[in-house]
C-alpha cells in the first residue's frame, strides 16, 4: 500500500469520523431536548398544535421541523448502520462501550475487514450526512441576503433560520429558493429500509 493511498484513506476516514460524530452529536442533543420537554409525569409535553413562543420567537409545535427532520434522518442512518454492520460490530467491536461515536471509530479502525453491507451502509451514511452539511453551507452562502431580509429577527440556533427560510419560501430569491427546496428534499426524503436496499 503506497503512502499517498494511506494518507488519502486517513483523510476520508477523518472526514467521515467528523461527519459521523456530528450526526451523533445532533442525535444526542435531540434526545436531551426530548427529555427536557417531558413533564413531571414522564409524558412528553403536549402542545395541542399551538405554536411555542420560547424566547419570543415563534417555533413550530413542540420543536422545529428542520431539527426533527435532521434528527429523524440521523437516527435512521444510525439504525441502518447498526443493522447492516451487526456482524462486524459483534466480531470486531463487542468489547467497545457504545456511545460518543466509539462504535463508529471501531468500525473505521477495521475498515479493511468490514463486510460489504457494512461498508455500503457507512458510505451511504457519510454521503447523506455530507449532503445535508453541504446543503446547509450552500444555503448560508446563497441565502445571506434573503436571511437578512426575511429572517433578520430570527434568533440563530436549533434550525430556526432554516425553518424561517422554509416558511418564507415564496418570498425568497430564485437561487435561495432552489437551495432551500433541495435541502428540504434531502432532509425530509423518505428513508429507505435496510431490507429494501439489498
pLDDT at 116: 94
**CA max distance for the chain:** 61
Give the cell for residue 166.
422554509
Rounded Cα distance, 35 and 37, in Å: 5
Q: Would residue 50 count as lying in a domain?
A: no
Q: Would residue 171 count as lying in a domain?
A: yes
pLDDT at 171: 93
Rounded Cα distance, 31 and 39, in Å: 15
Q: Would residue 27 count as lying in a domain?
A: yes
Q: Would residue 47 count as lying in a domain?
A: no
Q: Would residue 57 count as lying in a domain?
A: no
Burial 86-110 (b: 16+ CB within 10 A, else e): eebbeebbeeeeeeebebbbbbbee
Per residue in 110-135, pLDDT tens?
A: 999 999 999 999 888 888 888 877 77
Q: Would residue 45 count as lying in a domain?
A: no
Q: Kindly give, in sequence order, each residue whose CB lies less than 8 Å from that of residue 151, ignoring residues fewer than 6 positions away.
A: 161, 164, 165, 168
- Residue 102 belongs to what domain range? 3-37+81-197
pLDDT at 68: 66
Regions in the chain scoring below 70 on pLDDT = 1-68, 187-198
Rounded Cα distance, 172 and 162, in Å: 12
pLDDT at 34: 44
Q: Would residue 49 count as lying in a domain?
A: no
Q: Which residue do the cell numbers 449532503 mark?
A: 131
> What is the number of domains present in the chain?
1
Q: Would residue 136 count as lying in a domain?
A: yes
Amino acid at each position: 500500500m503506497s503512502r499517498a493511498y494511506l494518507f488519502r484513506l486517513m483523510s476520508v476516514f477523518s472526514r467521515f469520523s467528523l461527519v459521523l460524530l456530528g450526526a451523533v452529536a445532533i442525535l444526542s442533543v435531540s434526545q436531551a431536548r426530548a427529555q427536557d420537554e417531558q413533564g413531571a409525569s414522564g409524558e412528553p409535553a403536549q402542545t395541542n398544535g399551538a405554536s411555542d413562543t420560547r424566547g419570543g420567537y415563534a417555533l413550530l409545535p413542540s420543536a422545529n421541523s428542520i431539527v426533527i427532520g435532521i434528527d429523524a434522518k440521523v437516527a435512521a442512518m444510525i439504525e441502518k448502520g447498526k443493522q447492516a454492520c451487526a456482524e462486524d460490530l459483534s466480531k470486531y467491536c463487542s468489547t467497545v462501550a457504545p456511545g460518543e461515536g466509539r462504535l463508529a471509530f471501531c468500525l473505521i479502525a477495521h475498515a479493511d475487514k468490514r463486510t460489504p453491507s457494512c461498508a455500503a451502509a457507512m458510505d451511504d451514511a457519510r454521503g447523506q450526512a455530507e449532503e445535508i452539511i453541504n446543503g446547509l453551507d450552500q444555503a448560508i452562502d446563497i441565502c445571506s441576503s434573503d436571511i437578512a431580509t426575511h429572517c433578520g429577527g430570527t434568533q440563530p440556533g436549533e434550525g430556526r433560520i432554516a425553518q424561517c427560510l422554509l416558511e418564507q419560501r415564496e418570498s425568497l430569491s430564485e437561487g435561495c429558493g432552489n437551495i432551500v427546496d433541495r435541502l428540504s428534499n434531502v432532509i425530509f426524503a423518505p428513508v429507505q429500509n435496510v431490507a429494501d436496499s439489498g
